[in-house]
A and B are shown apart, each in its own frame.
Chain A
Amino acid sequence: MATVKPRVKAPKSATTGEIITIKTLISHKMESGQRKDKQGNLIPRQIINHFTARYNGEVVFEVDIEPAISANPYLQFNMRVEEPGEFEFIWNDDDGSVYATKQKLKVG
């Protein structure tokens, strides 16, 4: 993909105490570093190596990611809702790129 785009599915509103599920998907080849090109040379590794989910600045969930995670990495996790605020989701690429997206959460 020309641009690496993250997708996030999280509820826009929830009630206090509710445990919500967050799903994320990001387009990325996740080049493992194990494959060889037509000349027999190893194609260098390039993967998303880390994912962080923050809520109001606090880390709620984090993943150390290895090449064994499939291309277009999918991650699903949960959070117990306590107060309204904003999520920030961050993906780190081996090449130093950082992909991020934010989403607000209303609490009623």
Chain B
Amino acid sequence: MKEVSRRKVLALGTGLVAVAMLPLPALASNEKVMEDIRKFTGGAEAPESSIVKLEVPEIAENGNTVPLSVSVDSPMTADNYVKRVILLAEKNPNPGVATFHFSPRSGVAEASTRMRLATTQNVIAVAELSDGSFHMTKSQVKVTIGGCGG
């Protein structure tokens, strides 16, 4: 029986790595994300705050479909509610992922979706409250690429 070392297989296998859906060359620098946040806040500060929570996997099995939930602690009454939450992927070719628009009718400022991440990076959420304040949180997702199955 012919012997194949696993190291040899891995070395040969380098060329087979599946390429992520979003190509890597034009990765967004921190500049672009900062610009997107500035556009969202109109230049106002968006300090890190524990009222915004991001639920993302620590390791994404496939960058094509990364489930996420975002929630903002708020009574969601007519005079105290979350207006918008923007989601950004720091190192995607274009950082913008989605902007959620809530209303007092939402009951809770919570939303879930599935996103594409090109590489290991921080996912950032910035919330705008009805009082004009902005709050931010970020969470790192490790994106694995490679493996099998055509």
Contacts and interface: CB of A to CB of B under 8 A. Distances in A.
Interface of A: 19-20, 32, 34-36, 55, 58-71, 73-80, 82
Interface in B72-110: 76, 89, 92-94, 96-103, 105-108, 110
A61 B18 CA distance: 37
A59 B116 CA distance: 27
Prevailing SS type, chain A contact patch = strand
Contact of A62 (B23, B101, B114): B101
Contact of A73 (B94, B105, B106, B114): B114
Interface of B: 21-23, 64-66, 69, 76, 89, 92-94, 96-103, 105-108, 110-117
A76 B100 contact: no
A68 B89 contact: yes
Contact of A32 (B105, B112, B116): B116
A70 B99 contact: no
Top 9 nearest A-B pairs by Cβ distance?
A80-B107, A19-B107, A76-B112, A62-B101, A70-B114, A64-B99, A66-B96, A68-B97, A70-B65
B105 A67 contact: no
Given A66-B97, A75-B113, A60 B106 contact: yes
Contact of B106 (A65, A66, A75, A77): A77
B73 to A, nearest CB: 14
Given A63-B98, A64-B101, A79-B106, 5 more contacts: A34-B93, A62-B100, A63-B101, A70-B64, A78-B106
B107 A78 contact: yes
A69 B102 contact: no
Nearest to B110: A78
Contacts of A75: 111-113
Contacts of B114: 69-70, 73-74
A63 B96 CA distance: 12
Given A60-B106, A80-B76, A69 B115 contact: yes
A61 B106 CA distance: 7
24 contacts: A60-B105, A61-B100, A61-B111, A62-B100, A63-B100, A63-B111, A66-B94, A67-B116, A68-B22, A69-B97, A69-B98, A69-B115, A73-B113, A75-B113, A76-B69, A76-B111, A76-B112, A77-B106, A77-B111, A78-B107, A79-B105, A79-B106, A80-B107, A82-B105
